[in-house]
Amino acid sequence: MVAIKTNDFKLITAKPFAPNLGADIYGVDLSQPVPDDQFAEIKAAFHQYQVLFFREQKEIPPARHIAFGKRFGPLHAHPAAPTMDGFPEIFEIHATKDSKIANGEFWHSDVSCDEVPPLGTMLQIHIAPPCGGDTMFSDMYAAYDDLSQPLKDMLDGLTALHSSEHIYKGRYSDRGRNDAEIDCPEAVHPIVRTHPDTGRKALFVNRTFTTRIVGLSDSESAAILEMLFTHAEHINYQIRFRWSLNDMAFWDNRCCMHRAIWDYWPEERKGRRVTIKGDRPV
Ligand code: SIN
């Protein structure tokens, strides 16, 4: 049983989305510069709730979106995704009736295949389908906490390979990125990582990028990974966010996974995403 979190923020309103993770944030206008004292509360709420949903927003100008992201640290460049004209820091999420794929349709932590994967991702949706197009999030602290002690002891010493060739090759070719231009990074990360700001341990494997556990046989690796993926995707750790136009979600890739639902074809959905560089997982 998870205790519902309380907060005493003064310059923002944070309403818990669910007992496990997430908060709706009111009282912030991201289309304007955010004052330092309000920013400090946003950062504290981000560490407390893992994913923030900034409600009642106007469309954020691209330069302001980039500037807000940079207050959390240097930005991360996606190895393969198409960027917005004139704003290489912005990854445009766009699905239309002609799309062959949408973005992020399977559980993942963004670009976990990078040596230094992103700290967090800020996505604002500017064109929303009449219904559908929700995004799901899963709490990887809780997924770790609920494991039995013998399994924690085993996983604490293990690392896993995160690969991307099977994901990125050809993925964005219909949006002007061909395989000659893109990188398909891979990296080995601990299966359990410690969050640099909260000190909490989180499970750090995902069905999209994590391809094998280092040092185990193929069958051991496949069986344990499947068990961990299924565990981390348990409904008790999840929330499902329904977007309103111009909502901005900001999620912490170090302690939650997410998955976008493409149930709205042939309708259109479009948004802009800025991603912040993180630390090497430890
Ligand atoms: C993603 O960034 O993985 C996609 C999220 C979304 O489109 O809701």
Shortest-distance Cα residue to atom 3 of ligand 1: 104
Asked if the structure places residue 272 within a domain, the reply is yes
Is position 273 annotated as part of the catalytic site?
Answer: yes
Asked if the structure places residue 74 within a domain, the reply is yes
Catalytic residue (choose from 65, 258, 259, 272): 258
Asked if the structure places residue 267 within a domain, the reply is yes
Average pLDDT estimate for 52-67: 97
Is position 76 annotated as part of the catalytic site?
Answer: no
**Residue range 243-260, pLDDT digits in tens:** 999 999 999 999 999 999
Asked if the structure places residue 265 within a domain, the reply is yes
Q: Is the dihedral of CA 224, 230, 236, 241 positive or negative?
A: positive
Residue 265 CA to ligand 1 center (angstroms) comes to 15
**Residue range 262-279, pLDDT digits in tens:** 999 999 999 999 999 999
- Asked if 263 and 174 count as a contact pair (C-beta separation under 8 A), the reply is no
Give residue 94's domain range: 6-277
Asked if the structure places residue 282 within a domain, the reply is no
Type and span of the H or E element at 188:
strand 187-190
Catalytic residue (choose from 108, 193, 212, 254): 108
> How many domains does the chain divide into?
1
Q: Is 87 left (phi over 0), alpha (psi -120 to 50) or beta?
A: beta
Whether 173 has a pLDDT exceeding 80, the answer reads no
Is position 37 annotated as part of the catalytic site?
Answer: no
Whether 177 has a pLDDT exceeding 90, the answer reads no
Average pLDDT estimate for 205-228: 98
Asked if the structure places residue 144 within a domain, the reply is yes
pLDDT at 6: 55
pLDDT at 3: 44
Asked if the structure places residue 35 within a domain, the reply is yes
Residue 105 CA to ligand 1 center (angstroms) comes to 8
Whether 179 has a pLDDT exceeding 90, the answer reads no
pLDDT at 1: 38
Residue 204 CA to ligand 1 center (angstroms) comes to 18
Domain harbouring 19, CATH code: 3.60.130.10
In DSSP notation, 210-243 reads EEEETTS-HHHHHHHHHHHHHHHT-GGGEEEEPP
**Residue range 12-36, pLDDT digits in tens:** 999 999 998 999 999 999 999 999 9
Q: Which residues does a 6 A CB cutoff place in the pocket of ligand 1?
A: 93, 103-104, 121, 123, 135, 258, 260, 273
Average pLDDT estimate for 182-198: 94
